[in-house]
Structure 1
Amino acid sequence: MTEQRISAFTSDRARAAYLAVYTRGLDRLWPVDRQSLDVATSLGPTRVHRTGRGDGVPVVLLPGAGGNSLSWHRHVARLGEAVPVVAVDPVGEPGGSDQRAPVGDGRDLARWLDEVLTALGIERAHLVGCSYGGWIAVRHALHAPNRAATITLLDPAGFGRITGRFLFWVIAGGLAGLTPAPLRRRLARWLRNATLRDDDLMRLAAATMRFRRRLPTPPTLTDAELRAVTVPTLVLLGERSQMYDAGQVADRLRRLLPDGRVEVVPGAGHDLPLHSPDLVTERTIAFIGQTEALA
């Protein structure tokens, strides 16, 4: 049973083929000053990439399910002009990390992230999490409340039950990704999924077909848990999010987060970081700057 709960590629050959596409993408799309390294954690070696300014509290980027550092290629250069940037390939997701132990729940992932920050010598960080990565960021804030300087959540998971509508959107997007590029780009508009228009990420998605993901589904965060998130928090939700009713989630977060700012982005869905990359990046930089000015 334990082996079934560890995410992995179906073979060493499949992993090597994926990493070849992944590395080419990073070399072509990421800033040239990237420093890549692996850090040891209790869940397995974790790949991180550092870039940007050398001083200040760093931004730590956590991608959504099935994603890794390449997911942030539209954001890292601009973020790096303002702050140090650390992008993490989460264990259990396809990328440069290698899961060696099972993950039971969000507390395991919170401890894992704390181990990553400790190994990098990061005492405090601005956490930015998309979807599943947003849920990890919240779990970490509950686990180590004094370590995050701010949290920015992009259409985060863990704020409502996973619906059939969302599962249909994920499956339809996966099938659309297998179609020829011209059709795939047309389907992107119909499915409201900007990822399908990103040829670089779609090349990576094709190589992900031989990866078996075994991470837990995020349960809905309780009112008590949200009230316990005292760190300054920015939440950006896609108006047309396929994961949940963005308006209802926004109302709940405005009511429960002690130091939260919530914005619903018009026209965006769960694809928010790729639908509105400039807005996401500039909102994040402004939020961090305002918070540090008040510190």
Structure 2
Amino acid sequence: MASIYRTSQGQAEILQLYDSLLEQLNLIVQQQLIETRFGLTNVLVTGPQEAPPLIIFQGGNTVNPITLSWFLPLTKHYRIYAPDTIGHPGKSSEKRISPKDDSFGKWVVDLLDFLKIQKAPMIGPSYGAGIILRTAAYAHERISKAVLIVPSGIETGSLKRMVFEILIPMLVYRWSPSNERLLRAVRPIFNDEVDEKSLQVIGSVFRNVKLETKMPRLATAEELKDFTAPTLVLAGEKDIFFPASKILPQAKVIIPNLVAGECLQGSGHFLNAKTLNYINQRIFSFLQESE
């Protein structure tokens, strides 16, 4: 199996960054290795042991502690299970599985079976939302509620804009790294203030990881026709990858029980502290609502 890392030194840098960011969460976090049909998966577990379960899937081409840091308020109310996505930077198997078929759905089922969780609410930002939709297509009965944030798997933005505004500047950065070049490359992702921890991760991943360029397959109304779990979609107005103007209309078409689809005004793909504060309040309210 080919490594997703460019060098062993690059892998060590990513894992050191992972551990540093995990420590900075100031949470009691257990790390549990689970064997799945696709390989070992590392799962971060936190929150009160007696609390109801909540599954959080990380964004793509990042490290799990960054994603978990966005949902810290929820750790007081739920027993959170946050798997390192297989084939992405982190501590799970480096084996990449297809995001175009049922593979991610099968992977999620393996995780839930091992954890003895029959059904649970799930949260997924970006690539993680696409994983939830692949699971909804394969095993909809395992999802009690779904929260899809700046989501993949529904619609996409302009490929031309992504290439010229992000990919080419990122290639320039990797060829000759500097903080100025990195800031130029990520500006379209953030739109407003740049989070320093996220910036550090993006720079390290782009220098050291062979990026996963395949996004989860776009879900269809036909394959989600039996997916009746209440679903909340939160999309960024200025998200270059998955703009609200495309996401929200299509979500109404393909998701049978779309409770709400909201546009995060002024938000890019990476969300600032004020928006994250609102998102956590909105999610908690949504999860507390009776089905």
Settle same-fold status: TM greater than 0.5: yes
- Listed as ranges, the gaps of 5+ residues in structure 1 are none
* Larger deviation, residues 15-24 vs 231-240: 15-24
Superimposed CA distance per residue, residues 244-266 of structure 1 (whole angstroms, 9 cap, x where no aligned partner) = 44234312323442211211111
On the 8 A contact 2:59/2:67 being kept in 1, the answer is no
Partner residue, 2:196: 199
* Distance in structure 2 (CA, Å) of the matches to 1:89 and 1:275: 26
Could you say if the C-alpha distance between residues 253 and 7 of structure 1 is closer, same or farther in structure 2, counting changes exceeding 3 Å? farther
- Read off the aligned partner of 1:266 and give its amino acid letter: Q
* Residue in 2 that maps onto 1:143: 138
Q: CA offset at residue 103 of structure 1?
A: 3.1
CA contact (8 A) 2:60 2:212 kept: no
Whether the aligned pair in 2 keeps the contact of 1:68 and 1:88 (CA below 8 Å) is no
What secondary structure is seen at the aligned counterpart in 2 of 1:126?
A: strand
Work out which of the residue numbers 86, 90, 112 in structure 1 matches 2:85.
90
CA contact (8 A) 1:7 1:213 kept: no
Q: Residue 146 of structure 1 aligns to a residue in which SS? A: helix
Q: Where does structure 2 lack aligned partners over 5 or more consecutive residues? A: none
How much is the aligned-residue C-alpha RMSD, in angstroms?
Answer: 2.8
**What is the TM-score of this pair, normalised by structure 1?**
0.85
CA deviation profile, 1:8-49 (whole Å, cap 9, x unmatched): 213333222221121011111x23311112111122211111
SS in 1 for 2:263: strand
TM-score (norm 2): 0.86
1:230 corresponds in structure 2 to 228
Q: CA deviation at 1:66?
A: 0.4
Checking the alignment, whether the CA contact within 8 Å between 1:42 and 1:101 is kept in structure 2 is no
What is the match of residue 171 of structure 1? 167
Partner AA of 1:8 in structure 2: I
1:134 alignment partner in structure 2: 129
Q: Secondary structure at the match of 1:160?
A: coil
Q: Deviations over 1:126-168 (max 9, x none)?
A: 1111111101101101211111111100111122246222344
How far the C-alpha of 1:228 sits from its partner, in A, is: 3.5
Moved over 4 A (4+): 175-178, 183-188
Deviations 1:177-219 (A, max 9, x none): 95437x866886x525169722223323333222123563333
| Cα deviation 1:87-111 (Å, max 9, x = unaligned) | 1110111111122464363411111
Amino acid across the alignment from 1:94: P
2:21 pairs with 1:22:
no
Partner of 1:125: 120
1:259 aligns with 257
